[in-house]
Amino acid sequence: MTTYTFPKGFWWGSAASGPQTEGVLTNDGKGDSIWDHWYKEAPERFFDQVGPEKTSQFLTKYQEDIQLMKQTGHTSFRTSIQWSRLIPEGTGAVNPEAVAFYNAVIDELIANDIEPFINLFHFDMPMAMQAKGGWLNRETVEAYVAYAKTCFELFGDRVTKWFTHNEPIVPVEGGYLYDFHYPNHINLKEAIQVAYHENLASAMAIQAYHAMDLAGEIGIILNLTPSYPRDPENPADVKAANIADLFFNRSFLDPAIKGEFPAELIAIVQELEMVPAILEGDLAIIQNNTIDLLGINYYQPRRIKAKESAVDHSHGPLPDDFFDNYDMPNRKMNVYRGWEIYEKGIYDILTNVRENYGNLPCYISENGMGVEGEERFADENGAIQDDYRIRFVKDHLKYVHQAIQEGSSVRGYHMWTCMDNWSWTNAYKNRYGFIAVDLNQDAKRTIKKSGHWFKTVSDQNGFTD
C-alpha cells in the first residue's frame, strides 16, 4: 500500500459548463446559442433527440447541487457563463435575470467554501453572432472581448480564477473540419481563421482583465492530447505525430504560454496558402498577453503513423493529409466511449509543460470516464457502485502525484463532471458524474460511490492504494 499525499491547498473538485447543465426556462431571457438553433434544425443529430433545454436543471437546482458538491469534497468547481444567457444577442443589452442567476451561484459557492472557477466560452456561440459568421468574423472577436469585460466587471470582485476558452480546438474541429458541431463546415482555410480569431480573442480578454487590476488569475483550458508515433524509431512516424501535435495541441498551447505560433505550423499554413487575415498589432497583442494559469483536459492519447491511406480530396486539404491514426494492438479501452485509457499520458503532458513551457502553474481541469447504462451498477438503495470510475481517477492521480514529485507546478484536479450532464450530440448516452441524475424523476440526484470516495480524498488531501 502506498499513500499519495498532495500539496497543501490542492484544489479538489469537478468541472461542468453552462450549456450542459443549466437548462432553459420560459421567459428566462436567454438568447439562442448555436446548440439551441442546431437542435431545432436537426434534432436527429442528437442522441435520443434530447436537446439542450433538457440539461440537468442547474438553473433551478444550483443550491441543492452546491450542497452535493460539499458532500462530495469539492473545494473548487469550474463552470461557464453562457454568453447567450448574459448578452442574448451577443452584443447589446445585458440580461438582468442572468446577472442575478450567476451572482447567486457564485455567492452560494463561496458561502460553502467552494472556490468558483469561471470559464467564458464553452463551444456556445450566440446564434446572433454565428449568423454573422461566428469566429470567422473579426466582429465576433470584438464582441467577445466586450462580453468578457462585462463578466469581469459584474463578477470579478469575487471570482479570482478566470478562463477565456475551454478546448478552443474543438469548435475548430467540430465546426470547420469534421462536422460534429454547428455550422458543420469542412474547410481547412476557415478552420485556420477560426483558430486564429479564438487565439486573438483570448489574448485580448487577458489584456482587458489585467488592465482592470483585479486580484485574480486568468488562463485558458486546453485539451492536450499527446501524439505518440507508432514507432518512435521511425522518422516518418515521428514526423507525422509532430504534425498532429502542431495542429491539435501547439496551435493553442504555444500562443497561450509563449505568445507565438510554432514556426513549423506557420510553415505548413504558408505552404497551403491559408494564412489567416491578421491585422497590424494583432501578433503583438498575442505576444504580450499570455496566460497566468493553464487548465489541462486529458481523456485519451492520439496514436499516429505516417500517412498510408489515400488522401481524400473531396473537401480540399485537411490535417489528416499529413498523418494516419494508428490503432495500437492490445490497448486498454473505455468501450462505451471508444477511447483509449492511457494514464501515463497525463504525466507526459505535465512533464512537457514543465520542461518546454516554463513550468507554468497549471491544474487538471478535466479528466473522466463516460459509461453507458450505469443504472446496471446501482445497489438496493439506487446508488451506483462505480468502482471503475474510482480506479480510473486513482490511476490518473498517481501520475499527477509523480509529476508533482518531479517538480511540476500542478495545483489541482477537477474531474468531468459533478452531476451527470448533457453532452452535446451524445446527450445523456454516457454518464460521467460523481452524482447520478435521473431524467425520469425530475432530474433527481443521487451520489455515486465515486462521490463518497472523492470526499475522503479531499478530506485527506490524498489517498492510499
pLDDT in tens, 175-223: 999 999 999 999 999 999 999 999 999 999 999 999 999 999 999 999 9
What integer pLDDT is reported at residue 104 of this predicted model?
Answer: 98
What integer pLDDT is reported at residue 157 of this predicted model?
Answer: 98
What integer pLDDT is reported at residue 122 of this predicted model?
Answer: 98
Confidence band for 427, pLDDT divided at 50, 70 and 90:
very high
Q: What DSSP string describes 64-106?
A: HHHHHHHHTT-SEEEEE--HHHHSTTSSS---HHHHHHHHHHH
- The span from the CA of 293 to the CA of 296, in Å, is 10
pTM above 0.95, yes or no: yes
What integer pLDDT is reported at residue 54 of this predicted model?
Answer: 81
How do 462-464 and 3-5 pair as beta strands?
antiparallel
The CA angle 15-413-432, to the nearest 5 degrees, is 45
- The span from the CA of 4 to the CA of 462, in Å, is 5
* C-alpha cell read off for 289: 498577453
Annotated catalytic residue 366: yes
The mean per-residue pLDDT over the stretch 359-375 comes to 98
- The span from the CA of 23 to the CA of 320, in Å, is 36
pLDDT, the chain, mean:
98
In the chain, the percentage of residues whose pLDDT exceeds 90 is: 99
Number of other residues whose CB lies within 10 A of the CB of residue 213 = 6
- Choose among 427, 418, 420: nearest CA to 441: 420
| Domain ranges within the chain, ordered by starting residue | 3-464
What integer pLDDT is reported at residue 190 of this predicted model?
Answer: 98
User: Is the link from the previous residue into 183 a cis peptide, with omega within 30 of 0?
Assistant: yes
What integer pLDDT is reported at residue 61 of this predicted model?
Answer: 97
- Give yes or no for residue 146 having a pLDDT over 90: yes
- The span from the CA of 178 to the CA of 170, in Å, is 10
The CA angle 162-259-201, to the nearest 5 degrees, is 50
- Give yes or no for residue 435 having a pLDDT over 90: yes
* CATH of the domain spanning 3-464: 3.20.20.80
Give pLDDT tens digits for 210-261: 999 999 999 999 999 999 999 999 999 999 999 999 999 999 999 999 999 9
Catalytic residue among 115, 343, 366, 374: 366
- Give yes or no for residue 164 having a pLDDT over 90: yes
Torsion sign over Cα 433, 434, 438, 442: negative
